[in-house]
């Protein structure tokens, strides 16, 4: 349920509605102030900050959502906020051509992105996915966890061969059992295929029982065309998975912990069980499933980001990072860094794109060719086109 200020919802019609995930604390407030100062809106773009419900009065560009139980868990807040925002945006119908999501440690020239999206829409028919290209990853629906990061074609082929070997062994095991229980006792068969995701170690994460692999569009910027957004929120799992998470989160956390103990018994600390639910991987999986045999155009844009471990004394200003459409890992201090006040560097990549690329023809390939994968190696998206903006 949204607590909507009269100036924030429903927003005026525009090319792009960009929702930026934020929080209700001092650092997040400073981030929002920096983004407002540096990222222009208008001229086709509407920006709304998406925050959990708080007692303080929101600004006109802030959209607050009451998360309900178990929304107090920080592991779930971003996922629940994203679901609520996407549903609310989809309910507006044709008010926007595109709806996007970003984060408050990222910086995007929203107005320039809207203009670029207009040029893309003029040249491309059908669903459009727009944002920062990530890696191939799989998804475990039972635990709502991403697995098998950076899935390569070779890794997928090896896993398919392993799965087929396990299947044959299972068949042979059943034959042996019908012939002689004693023989089966003397020669124990390998573990059952249904248990492999918990027993194969790191390779087991790539077991075919999981969904995918799907191509991740990274959280700092992912934009859906209106028809693609409708396909996402109307996917059968979109509502049912949220209901399951809300009603069974404690049980899901316990299963996450069990799998991590099995797969990484010597790890210095448990990480997966304490990690937030990765909504960007989840949405990529839903789209990969819903549009597995349909066409889609994925327009990729570049991202520049700070390294996690750069000492403050050695950090470059944003103006010294490579020119890009999206800048990521921005602290409040980095948002206020010298060289940013006039916003020139933020807009430099977009200014080079003022003469739009004909993405219907130039620099576009079908996904198998663009990713050097055979079509049969892609459970999703063999009919998708990838275009580098």
pTM as predicted? 0.81
Torsion region of 312: left, alpha or beta (phi above 0 gives left; psi -120 to 50 gives alpha): alpha
2-148+214-388 placed in CATH 3.90.550: yes
**The pLDDT of residue 226 is above 90:** yes
Q: What percent of the chain has pLDDT over 70?
A: 66
Give pLDDT tens digits for 37-74: 877 677 799 999 998 876 555 677 888 888 877 666 77
SS3 letters for 200-218? CHHHHHHCCCCEEEEEEEE
Which range among 53-62, 116-125, 256-265, 348-357 shows the weakest confidence by mean pLDDT?
A: 348-357
CA geometry: angle 389, 238, 19, nearest 5 deg: 45
Which range among 42-51, 58-67, 159-168, 205-214 shows the weakest confidence by mean pLDDT?
A: 159-168
The residue ranking higher by pLDDT, 258 or 79, is: 79
Residues 63, 85: Cα–Cα separation, whole Å: 9
**The pLDDT of residue 92 is above 80:** yes
SS3 62: strand
Q: What percent of the chain has pLDDT over 90?
A: 23
**The pLDDT of residue 140 is above 60:** yes
Give pLDDT tens digits for 324-344: 888 888 877 676 654 454 456
Query: Is the Cβ–Cβ distance between 16 and 223 less than 8 Å?
Result: yes
């Amino acid at each position: 349920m949204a607590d909507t200020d009269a100036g924030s919802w429903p927003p005026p019609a525009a090319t792009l509605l960009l929702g930026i995930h934020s929080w209700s604390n001092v650092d997040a407030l400073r981030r929002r102030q920096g983004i407002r100062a540096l990222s222009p809106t208008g001229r086709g773009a509407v920006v709304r900050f998406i925050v959990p419900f708080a007692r303080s009065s929101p600004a006109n560009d802030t959209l607050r959502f009451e998360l309900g139980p178990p929304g107090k868990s920080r592991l779930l807040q971003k996922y629940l906020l994203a679901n609520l925002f996407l549903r609310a945006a989809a309910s507006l119908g044709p008010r926007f051509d595109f709806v996007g999501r970003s984060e408050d440690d990222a910086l995007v020239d929203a107005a320039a992105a809207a203009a670029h999206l207009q040029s893309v829409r003029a040249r491309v028919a059908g669903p459009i996915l727009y944002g920062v290209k990530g890696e191939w990853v799989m998804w475990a629906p039972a635990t709502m966890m991403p697995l098998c990061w950076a899935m390569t074609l070779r890794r997928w082929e090896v896993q398919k061969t392993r799965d087929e070997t396990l299947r044959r062994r299972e068949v042979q095991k059943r034959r042996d059992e019908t012939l002689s229980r004693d023989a089966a006792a003397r020669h124990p068969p390998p573990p059952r295929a249904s248990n492999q995701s918990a027993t194969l170690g790191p390779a087991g994460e790539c077991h075919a029982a999981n969904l995918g692999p799907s191509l991740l569009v990274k959280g700092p910027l992912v934009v859906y065309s209106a028809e693609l957004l409708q396909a996402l929120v109307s996917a059968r799992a979109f509502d049912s998975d949220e209901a399951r998470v809300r009603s069974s989160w404690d049980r899901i956390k316990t299963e996450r912990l069990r799998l991590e103990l099995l797969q990484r018994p010597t790890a210095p600390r448990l990480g997966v069980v304490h990690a937030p639910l990765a909504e960007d991987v989840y949405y990529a999986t839903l789209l990969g499933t819903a549009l597995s045999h349909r066409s889609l155009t994925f327009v990729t844009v570049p991202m520049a980001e700070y390294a996690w471990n750069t000492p403050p004394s050695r950090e470059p200003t944003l103006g010294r990072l490579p020119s890009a459409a999206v800048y990521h890992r921005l602290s409040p201090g980095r948002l206020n860094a010298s060289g940013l006040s006039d916003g020139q560097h933020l807009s430099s990549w977009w200014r080079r794109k003022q003469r739009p690329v004909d993405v219907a023809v130039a620099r576009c390939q079908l996904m198998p060719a663009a990713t050097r994968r055979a079509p049969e190696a892609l459970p999703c998206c063999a009919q998708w086109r990838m275009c580098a903006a």
